[in-house]
């Protein structure tokens, strides 16, 4: 397999990763006949190494792939590409959290909201118009959020704030556990993924 990588001063390169007959190929789809570049010979076994080289070539920095997506950086802004090396989130965000459960927290203008990554090119955003001061990494389909120094809970599946930002502390959901703990003043209670408080605020420790 050969990978031709080219670069010009005026255009950004475009690459695709394709699979055919069990072989992995990375194709340049920029279509600039006069561009100059170089060739890397590879096999499917070291495709990851070649993907890294391409990302190094196009972006200032990039992370490892997780759930089929990777963070990239251009200048002082971040974005996300998929396994076809196509941008699914443009490099226009101040910060992007670690990708978890095909979700990423995006920071723009000092506020955070959630981006759900689906398919090879489609994404949708949750709470982009009502961002939070802080939005936690998605765990077990839930995110702990903060607004005006108070905490709440977002359920990703329902795209809703199931517990309003009225609490002093909320513990993250553990994997495959349907409950967690929420604190108001000096007492704790148990809350479910639907946002229902299941006990009174009577526990001193949880």
Q: Which residues, in sequence order, are CB contacts of 22 under 8 Å at separation 6+? A: 44
pLDDT band at 23 (very low <50, low <70, confident <90, very high): low
pLDDT band at 38 (very low <50, low <70, confident <90, very high): very low
Query: Where do the domains of the chain lie?
Result: 1-58, 67-132, 139-206
Predicted local distance difference test score (pLDDT) of residue 17 = 57
Residue 2 has pLDDT above 50, yes or no: no
Predicted local distance difference test score (pLDDT) of residue 107 = 96
Torsion (CA) 85, 91, 96, 100 in degrees, nearest 10 = -20
Q: What is the pTM of this model?
A: 0.76
139-206: CATH number: 2.40.10
How far is 15 from 4, CA to CA, in rounded Å?
Answer: 10
């Amino acid at each position: 397999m050969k990978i031709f990588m080219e670069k010009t001063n005026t255009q950004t390169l475009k690459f695709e990763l394709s699979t055919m007959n069990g072989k992995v190929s990375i194709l340049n789809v920029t279509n600039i006949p006069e561009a100059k570049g170089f060739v890397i010979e590879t096999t499917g076994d070291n495709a990851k190494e070649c993907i890294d080289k391409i990302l190094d070539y196009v972006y200032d920095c990039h992370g490892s792939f997780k759930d089929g997506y990777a963070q990239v950086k251009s200048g002082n802004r971040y974005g996300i590409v998929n396994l076809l090396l196509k941008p699914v989130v443009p490099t226009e965000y101040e910060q992007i959290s670690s990708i978890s459960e095909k979700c990423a927290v995006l920071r723009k203008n000092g506020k955070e909201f959630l981006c759900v990554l689906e398919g090879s090119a489609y994404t949708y955003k949750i709470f982009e118009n009502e961002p939070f001061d802080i939005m936690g990494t998605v765990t077990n389909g839930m995110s702990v959020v903060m607004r005006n120094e108070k905490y709440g809970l977002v359920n990703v599946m329902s795209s809703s704030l199931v517990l309003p930002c009225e609490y002093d502390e909320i513990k993250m959901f553990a994997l495959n556990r349907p409950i967690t703990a929420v604190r108001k003043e000096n007492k704790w209670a148990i809350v479910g993924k639907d946002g229902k408080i299941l006990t009174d605020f009577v526990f001193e420790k949880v």
